[in-house]
Amino acid sequence: MENTREILYFQEFERRRIAEGLHDTTAQELIHLSQQLELAFLYLEQDIVQAKLEMISAKKQIKTIMIPTTCGTGSEATCNAIVAIPEEQSKKGIVNDAMIPDYVVLDAQMIQKLPKSIIAATGVDALAHCVECFTSKKATPLSDFYAMQGAKLIFKNIREAYNNADDMEAKSNMLLGAFYGGVAITGSGTTAVHALSYPLGGKYHIAHGVSNAILFAHVMEFNKDACKQRLAMLCDVVEPTLIAKSVDEKAQYIIEQITDIVKVTNIPTDLKEFGVKMEDLDFLVDAGSKQTRLLVNNMKELSLNDIREIYLKVLKP
Ligand SMILES: [Zn+2]
C-alpha cells in the first residue's frame, strides 16, 4: 500500500524531530506536518477499506470451463454453490458472479456410465429446478422459456435415460434439460421443494436430488391451488395432446407425472428409510422454516403447520 510508506516516512520524520529537538520547528511547520499526517492516515484508512473489500469479493482470475458429470445440478449455468453448515445441520446457498463459467461442454459420454440411481436423483433435481422456477414468484419471461423447455426435455427423457445406459440421445437431452434448469434458476429461483429439502441433506446426509424427489410432488400438491394455471401451461408444452383438458386436470397431470417418475426410477419416498424419526419432526419444521431465501419465492405462503404437514406426508408412522 503506497500510503503506508507515506505514514512510515512521517513517523520517521517525527522521530528525528524529537531526537533533534523541536527548537528549530516553527508553529507553521508543525501545523503543516499535522495536516500531512492527518491526510496520510486518511489514505491509510481508505487503503485498508479497499484491501478488505478486495479480500471479501472473489474475483475470477482465469477463464473457466465446466463439464457436468451428472444430469442434475445445472450449476454449470449458475452463479450458485451449496455449502454444508455442520453446526446448523443444514445447507445454504452462496452466490457469486465469479462462479459463472466462461465455457460449458455438455457431453453425454460424461454420464454414459453414471449409476442409474444417480441419473434418477440428479434428473429429478433438474426437473424440480424447472418446475419450481416456472411456478416461482420470481419467474420472468426469460426464466419461463428455459424452465418450460428444460421441463419438457426431462419429462420426455428421464425414463429412457434411467432404463437404457446407452440411450445417448436421451442422455444428451437430460444434460440440456439440466442446463436449461440452471439458466432458469439464474433468472428465477427455486421454491419450497428445495427449501424444505436442505435440512434433510444437512442433518441426515440424504443426497440433494433424493431429498428433493421425496418432497417434490407433495409440495406441488400443496401449491396447486396457487399455481394450477402455471402447471397447466407446463402441461400444454409437455403433453400437447391434453390441450382440451381443464386447468385442474392439466395441473394434476403434471403432479402425477412427477409422482410416477419418482416411482419408476426407484427413488425412496419415505424419510424413515434414511433414519429420520418422528421425534425429528420439530427439528425439521424449525430448520425448514428458516430457509427463507427460497421460501419467499413460493407462490403460496407456508405456515409452520403447513411445513409440518408436508414433512408428515413423507414420514409415515
Ligand atoms: Zn437442486
Which residues lie across from 83 on neighbouring strands? 92
Task: State percent of the chain over pLDDT 90.
Answer: 69
The pLDDT of 164-184, averaged and rounded, is 97
* Ligand 1 center–CA 277 separation, angstroms: 24
* Ligand 1 center–CA 297 separation, angstroms: 15
Distance CA 207, CA 107 (A): 23
* Ligand 1 center–CA 209 separation, angstroms: 6
* Ligand 1 center–CA 29 separation, angstroms: 66
Q: Put residue 275 in one of left, alpha, beta given phi > 0 → left and psi -120 to 50 → alpha.
A: left
Distance CA 85, CA 92 (A): 7
Distance CA 77, CA 97 (A): 11
Cα 108 to its chain centre, rounded Å, is: 23
Place of cell 458472479: 97
* Ligand 1 center–CA 12 separation, angstroms: 59
C-beta of residue 213 within 8 angstroms of C-beta of residue 284 = no
Residue 202: pLDDT band (50, 70, 90) is: confident
Q: Which residue has the higher pLDDT, 61 or 175?
A: 175
Strands 103-104 and 65-66: parallel
Q: What is the pLDDT of residues 237-270, one digit of tens each?
A: 999 999 999 999 999 999 999 999 999 999 999 9
C-beta of residue 188 within 8 angstroms of C-beta of residue 136 = yes
* Ligand 1 center–CA 246 separation, angstroms: 30
Place of cell 516553527: 26
Which pLDDT score, from 0 to 100, does residue 2 have? 46
Which pLDDT score, from 0 to 100, does residue 61 have? 85
Nearest 5°: phi and psi at 163?
A: -80, -25
Task: State percent of the chain over pLDDT 70.
Answer: 84
Does residue 80 surpass a pLDDT of 90? no
* Ligand 1 center–CA 181 separation, angstroms: 9
CA atoms lying within 13 Å on the CB side of residue 197: 27
Strands 90-95 and 80-85: antiparallel
The pLDDT of 79-104, averaged and rounded, is 83
Place of cell 520547528: 25
Distance CA 135, CA 229 (A): 9
Please tell me what DSSP assigns to residue 113.
Answer: T
Which pLDDT score, from 0 to 100, does residue 26 have? 66
* Ligand 1 center–CA 27 separation, angstroms: 69
* Ligand 1 center–CA 40 separation, angstroms: 50
* Ligand 1 center–CA 195 separation, angstroms: 10
Q: DSSP of 184-234, one letter per residue? A: HHHHS---HHHHHHHHHHHHH---HHHHHHHHHHHHHHHHHHHHHHHHHHH
Cα→Cα distances 40→18, 76, 88, 127, Å:
20, 46, 44, 57
* Ligand 1 center–CA 128 separation, angstroms: 7
Does residue 116 surpass a pLDDT of 80? yes
Reported pTM: 0.80
If you average pLDDT over every residue of the chain, what do you get? 88
Residue 6: pLDDT band (50, 70, 90) is: low
The pLDDT of 284-303, averaged and rounded, is 94
Residue 108: pLDDT band (50, 70, 90) is: very high
* Ligand 1 center–CA 130 separation, angstroms: 10
Q: What is the pLDDT of residues 23-48, one digit of tens each?
A: 555 667 667 766 776 776 676 677 66
Which pLDDT score, from 0 to 100, does residue 113 have? 94
Single out the residue of 153, 216, 141, 247 nearest to residue 184, CA to CA. Answer: 141
* Ligand 1 center–CA 37 separation, angstroms: 55
Q: Which residue has the higher pLDDT, 169 or 198?
A: 169
* Ligand 1 center–CA 242 separation, angstroms: 29
* Ligand 1 center–CA 166 separation, angstroms: 25
Does residue 203 surpass a pLDDT of 70? yes
Which pLDDT score, from 0 to 100, does residue 300 have? 96
The helix/strand/coil state of 239 is coil
Q: What is the pLDDT of residues 10-25, one digit of tens each?
A: 556 555 555 555 555 5
Distance CA 192, CA 219 (A): 7
Please tell me what DSSP assigns to residue 88.
Answer: G
Please tell me what DSSP assigns to residue 265.
Answer: T
Single out the residue of 232, 217, 187 nearest to residue 77, CA to CA. Answer: 187
Question: Which residues keep their CB under 5 angstroms from ion ligand 1?
Answer: 125
Distance CA 169, CA 303 (A): 43
The pLDDT of 77-86, averaged and rounded, is 84
Q: What is the pLDDT of residues 263-281, one digit of tens each?
A: 999 999 999 999 999 999 9
Does residue 287 surpass a pLDDT of 80? yes
Which pLDDT score, from 0 to 100, does residue 122 have? 97
Q: What is the pLDDT of residues 135-153, one digit of tens each?
A: 999 999 999 999 999 999 9
* Ligand 1 center–CA 6 separation, angstroms: 52
C-beta of residue 189 within 8 angstroms of C-beta of residue 297 = yes
* Ligand 1 center–CA 73 separation, angstroms: 5
